[in-house]
């Protein structure tokens, strides 16, 4: 589907266009495909129910990512999650062994470091955009990136 870059998508178009991004983001944070699918579904249901007004497609995408991150945080705070142990699984996207090791190390980081590393290195957001998305100070994002990188370096023992 070819979409105009300057218009906000309908909820149905948003599911088709942003669905993979929302699912990848949720999976990157919760590390379980079933939970990620549930979170993505909840995000799009919220979009449909609330029907927020967006300034443009960038605002719509940022809203969807922010909503996804908030749902992931709620997922980790839930009583159900704290009393169960989900199955570990990986995406069906083929990674080289080195990439798989790095992705596993990123997935093992605490949430606040994992989300900034994921948004910066995997989704390609700038630190200013991440700060706006996560409603944090840009210096906080820079600190979390530095600490996350240091944890990854220690975990990966400087191999990458």
What's the pLDDT at 122? Answer: 79
**Which token pair is 119?**
């948004």
Where is average pLDDT lowest: 10-24, 49-63, 90-104? Answer: 90-104
What's the pLDDT at 159? Answer: 62
pTM: 0.63
What's the pLDDT at 64? Answer: 93
Q: Which residues make Cβ contacts (< 8 Å) with residue 37, sequence separation at least 6?
A: 23, 26
Q: Using CA atoms in the order 92, 96, 97, 99, what is the torsion angle rounded to 10 degrees?
A: -90
**Which token pair is 8?**
């906000």
Question: Binning pLDDT at 50, 70 and 90, where does residue 137 land?
Answer: very high
CA 50 to CA 65: how far, in whole Å?
16
CA 125 to CA 118: how far, in whole Å?
9
- CB-based contact 112:18 (threshold 8 Å): no
**Which token pair is 103?**
């992705």
pLDDT (tens digit per residue) in 19-69: 999 998 898 888 888 899 999 999 999 999 998 889 988 899 999 999 999
* Residue with tokens 């370096």, as numbered in its chain: 153
């Amino acid at each position: 589907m070819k979409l105009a870059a300057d218009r906000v998508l309908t909820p149905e178009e948003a599911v088709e266009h942003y669905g993979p991004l929302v699912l990848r983001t949720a999976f990157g944070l919760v590390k379980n495909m079933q939970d990620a699918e549930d979170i993505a579904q909840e995000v799009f249901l919220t979009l449909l129910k609330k029907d927020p007004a967006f300034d443009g497609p960038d605002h719509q995408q940022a809203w969807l990512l922010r909503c996804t991150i908030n749902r992931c945080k709620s997922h980790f705070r839930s009583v159900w999650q704290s009393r169960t142990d989900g199955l570990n699984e990986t995406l069906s996207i083929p990674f080289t062994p080195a990439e798989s090791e790095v992705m596993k190390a990123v997935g093992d980081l605490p949430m606040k470091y994992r989300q900034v590393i994921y948004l910066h290195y995997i989704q390609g957001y700038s630190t200013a955009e991440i700060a706006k998305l996560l409603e944090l100070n840009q210096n906080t994002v820079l600190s979390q990136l530095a600490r996350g990188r240091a944890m990854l370096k220690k975990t990966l023992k400087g191999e990458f």
